[in-house]
Structure 1
Amino acid sequence: MTYYYKGFPQSDRDEKISMINVDELEERAKKVMPEGAYYYIASGAENEWTWRANTSAFNHYQIVPRALTDMQDPQTDTQFMGMKLKTPIMISPIACHGIAHKDAEVATQKGVAAAGALFSSSTYANKSVEDIAAVAPEAPRFFQLYLSKDWDFNKMVFDAIKKADYKGIFLTVDALVSGYREANLRTKFTYPVPLDFFTRYLGAKGEGQSVAQMYAASAQKIGPEDVARIKKESGLSVFVKGVMCAEDAYKAIGAGADGIYVTNHGGREIDGSPATIDVLPEIAKAVNHRVPIVFDSGVRRGSHVFKALALGADLVGIGRPYLYGLALGGPKGVESVIDQLNTELKIDMQLTGCKTIEDIKHAKISRIHYGLDAMPSNTDPSRMKPYPTTAENQIKSTNTDAVTGASQH
């Protein structure tokens, strides 16, 4: 079934998804999502080299199997910032879940809570933090902050997330402006569904604006002093999100950060930047267990989760796969994606003698570099395939709303 917001089609599903791996969901999601919305999720910046390298670079690291370990029934339970979790897999923050499902972040939180994972919601979420919290009051959650130039806006956000019992803040510092995302330009994507914090503060719905326009409202100048101010005014722990080198890890910890978040925004900002897994060991060495490390970008396999944990991460985030799961199955679809990665992770744990997540952090990893590709982006005319037309993925034209993120078919 499909729900329409001003002609924009949104999935209304709530069903488990059968899959062999999470990669196959990407192509399947095209059948239920408009072209512009799909490529907003699926694409990266410029030629998408970093977007591809994020996943390919996991092949630089090899899990060394162990024998005679006398171990069975591995357990994925872990703790993070005092929170008990059933898995080290985290839902990374992404804007506008309403492009995938009519219940947006509320549906995502339902699925994440069922899987026992950590949820994080974006400043650019469609649903309110109150509605997200209400659907799973006891579930742990963090908030991703795009710091605004307007500190009255920031204070409104801080007050709201504290009342909604969010446990901490991921301060984004790696997306001060939008990367050059060619797919968004080719499909003329703009946000088709209102964004809650913009609606409640300005009466502006964040609807019909481009990604670049939304980023323009955020602070482009963020320094060490902002970490201290956010901690003071919010009363919450603050992780610096977007650390890609040891020098910045030192700087963040020196500024009072409670944690480090290693990410390159899923290859959506600077194309040609290193894959996150390649910089994680250096950063982990610099941090030296002083604060927790969250890691994301390119994670598509349980083995990727294993490698990131073994190389220094405490939690491992996924992004695009859970949004495909949201579109294809709603809350249960999100849960299915996490369950699939957990299944693969447990196999790796069994074959390496790792009983617990803590054991993985001491697993043996080899490192041999392999070459990466240098292909044009998936939306380059030389590679872009015809987009499928289905009854569920077409925007219905109206007299009051411009075509936003629509299929060109």
Structure 2
Amino acid sequence: MESLVCVDDFEKEGVNRLGRSAREFLTSGADDALTVKDNVDAYSRILIRPRMLRDVSKRDLSTTILGKKVKIPLGVSPTGLQRITHPDGECGSAKAAEKVGGIMVLSIFATSSYEEVAAAAPNVRRWCQFYMHKDRSITKGIIDRAEKAGFEAMVFTVDCQYVGNRRVSARNPLQFPRHLQFPNATPDAAKEELSIFRLHDIMDHGVTWEAVSWLKSASKMPLILKGIQTADDAIRAVELGVDAIIVSNHGGRQIDTCPATIDILPSIVRAVGERAEVYVDGGIRRGTDIFKALALGAKMVFVGRPIWYGLAVDGAKGATKVLEILRDELDMTMALAGVADIKSITSSSVCRKEDLSKL
């Protein structure tokens, strides 16, 4: 693992270690996967504007998220089925987030339970992600169980009422180890093997904004909406009292040719203002990407596929190395850009290529 020095290295190595089904599940996107690619490429269209002769002998990567301090504005996105990459699975991801001082978001399709993750990484900040069940009592039970296990916030994913058109799955139906379960998909640990597709059958495909108000009444935990992609929806969300928004297009896995998340981030930040925190995921592969996202108004960034690749290489150790690489790259970027702390990363720290002639 010593020869792997960037996230791209982990991707190449991790993909090579996976079986066909796991590899296709992790790397695939909707339709032609154009948004998967553009999520990554979009960061190259943004340039960093370094400032000179500033004291950067000490850097502070910490910030405050939902009123509590984190060592770094970097977290693990709610990617499911992590044990198809390595037995450590989500417990390994949680240990990695704990090591760097970030946040772990656990998917409803996790292959490790709330209780297992809490025991594996008791000091990491943990958020629970879910979809809305047709039976609201199931959703309430899931939330209550997560809170009892020490999870501190709800992440309601709103861009997945149906599964996107992933051609790779149609050509080659996915085959996963039979022993894997989704122990958080019901209020009690699963007592049988569950298909991810059968789980989608019990989700509420007709859910509306009413669900946000219901969730606010169902739990006192902060509520975060994941999957917001327009300023209008962001405004609606904050009007209903959500605490934070994750700008996300599901890693390009739901609808193809939608905008890259970094491109739509500024408009959503402007629309939300100070009424809620705004985070972003999708396409982050370098510390410079994190810097750019923070400059464009994100309070925090989350990574999904890079964690899968880290786990595939060496379980918890691999996932930790991935987050440490991103942390160290962000730290170096700040030093070279003349920025000593997170709050000093502002919109003036970056520009787009087409705007260079206007500066």
> Same fold, TM exceeding 0.5?
yes
Residue 321 (1) aligns with residue 310 (2): no
What do the CA deviations read for 1:126-181 (whole angstroms, capped 9, x no partner)?
11101111122222111111111111211220111110111101110011111111
- Aligned equivalent of 1:373: none
- Aligned equivalent of 2:61: 76
Partners of 2:113 and 2:190 in 1: how far apart?
15
Paired-residue identity, %: 34
**CA shift for structure 1 position 301:** 0.8
Partners of 1:91 and 1:17 in 2: how far apart?
22
Partners of 1:316 and 1:45 in 2: how far apart?
23
- Correspondence 1:257-406 to 2 at 5 A: 257-361=242-346, 363-368=348-353
**CA shift for structure 1 position 222:** 2.3
Partners of 1:183 and 1:29 in 2: how far apart?
19
Which one of the candidate residues 183, 191, 196 is aligned to 2:183?
196
Unpaired runs of at least 5, structure 1: 1-15, 371-409
- Aligned equivalent of 2:129: 144
Counterpart of 1:131 in structure 2: which amino acid? E
- Aligned equivalent of 1:406: none
**CA shift for structure 1 position 69:** 1.5
Partners of 1:17 and 1:219 in 2: how far apart?
46
- Aligned equivalent of 1:391: none
Partners of 2:2 and 2:258 in 1: how far apart?
34
- Correspondence 1:4-403 to 2 at 5 A: 18-192=3-177, 193-198=180-185, 200=188, 203-206=191-194, 209=195, 211-361=196-346, 363-368=348-353
Partners of 1:119 and 1:188 in 2: how far apart?
30
What do the CA deviations read for 1:203-224 (whole angstroms, capped 9, x no partner)?
3421xx3x54432321212222
Partners of 1:187 and 1:99 in 2: how far apart?
17
TM-score (norm 2): 0.93
**CA shift for structure 1 position 47:** 0.4
Structure 1: 4+ residue segments shifted above 6 A:
none
Q: Contact 2:55 / 2:340 at 8 angstroms: preserved in 1?
A: no
Partners of 1:185 and 1:65 in 2: how far apart?
47
Counterpart of 1:159 in structure 2: which amino acid? D
SS of 1:347's equivalent in the other structure is helix
Partners of 1:146 and 1:361 in 2: how far apart?
34
Counterpart of 1:241 in structure 2: which amino acid? K
Counterpart of 2:174 in structure 1: which amino acid? F
Counterpart of 1:205 in structure 2: which amino acid? E
SS of 1:158's equivalent in the other structure is helix
Unpaired runs of at least 5, structure 2: none
What do the CA deviations read for 1:11-31 (whole angstroms, capped 9, x no partner)?
xxxxx6542210122221234
Partners of 1:50 and 1:30 in 2: how far apart?
20
Counterpart of 2:203 in structure 1: which amino acid? S
Q: Contact 2:183 / 2:190 at 8 angstroms: preserved in 1?
A: no
Partners of 2:55 and 2:185 in 1: how far apart?
55
Q: How many pairs were matched up?
A: 352
Partners of 2:276 and 2:174 in 1: how far apart?
38
TM-score (norm 1): 0.82
Change (3 A) 1:163 1:183: same
SS of 1:316's equivalent in the other structure is strand
